[in-house]
Amino acid sequence: MNCCVRNCSAILLLILGMVTTINCSSHVNCQESRGNAISNRQDELHCCNETFNSFSKNWHNEADYLTETLQSLKDWSCPQYNAECSKPTFNFNDFTALVYHRSCNRTLFESRCLDSLMRASSARGVSGSIWSNLLRDLRTFQLSQDELRDPCIQVALYDAAVQERGKYGYYHEMKRVFIPFCKFIWCGLDAENIHDHSISAWLCIPTFCRTNIIISIVVCSILSIWNVVANSIVLVVFFKQKRYTSSAGIYKLSIALADIMVG
């Protein structure tokens, strides 16, 4: 609805003594305003609400990123940002915890992750313990799969991407929320590493969870093979004894056939 119409209706309502505020926020495009402060505080607060509510609804979707959402809330000095920092809603694993730390308490993040970065550097003969240098070097390394699996490296790559390239669009999160026997799978990498390693969400699956997935696949396969074998035996016996003329026989036949198909 356009602002004038809103104002008019607001004034009408005001006359009726029902409403006292005028809200013209709907013309800001919150998506396009990401990364910058919005001059009108009312609009900014509107975008805070819109961004936070949308993420709350869609956080499990592949395309909705915690990194970018926190960044927007921080850029706009949102009340939701302070609330998230003191009580993180979307913190499910080591990766998300570090994403929160990076945004809310950089000292804590850097102290947690300095070791990982120093290890990656010293493995390549570079010594040093200054975060910004380690970060710069990290981007030049051909990182191994094991290093990429480290949540500290993952969030440091976000830090590096933000500092070098800008806040949005150079970093991607991958999630699988509803995999049985696994906790939340949630990780992220910069666009270059994703491209260079052709990485999928499998990289972010913790070892215990991979084991669980493999065990369930094996168990299901064994059950399935056993099912097919057992029911095939039933079928063989059935045809040898020529019992398919009675209705009970046909009933058993159809059960065996259905079982094989399920198997």
Ligand X SMILES: *[C@@H]1O[C@H](CO)[C@@H](O)[C@H](O)[C@H]1NC(C)=O
State the residues that interact with ligand X by CB under 6 A.
Answer: 25, 42, 45-46, 49, 105, 107-108
| Token output for 6 | 């809103």
Residue nearer to ligand X on the CB measure, 105 or 129? 105
Answer left, alpha or beta for residue 61, where phi above 0 means left and psi between -120 and 50 means alpha: beta
The nearest distance, CB 3 to ligand X, in angstroms, is 14
Residue nearer to ligand X on the CB measure, 108 or 191? 108
The nearest distance, CB 38 to ligand X, in angstroms, is 11
Residue nearer to ligand X on the CB measure, 40 or 163? 40
Long-range contacts of 115-118 (CB under 8 A, 24+ apart): 115/152, 116/150, 116/152, 116/153, 116/156, 117/152, 117/153, 117/156
The nearest distance, CB 25 to ligand X, in angstroms, is 6
Nearest to 77 by CA among 36, 117, 111: 36
One-character DSSP codes across 47-70: HHHHHHHHHHHHTTSTT--HHHHH
The nearest distance, CB 147 to ligand X, in angstroms, is 25
Residue nearer to ligand X on the CB measure, 112 or 172? 112
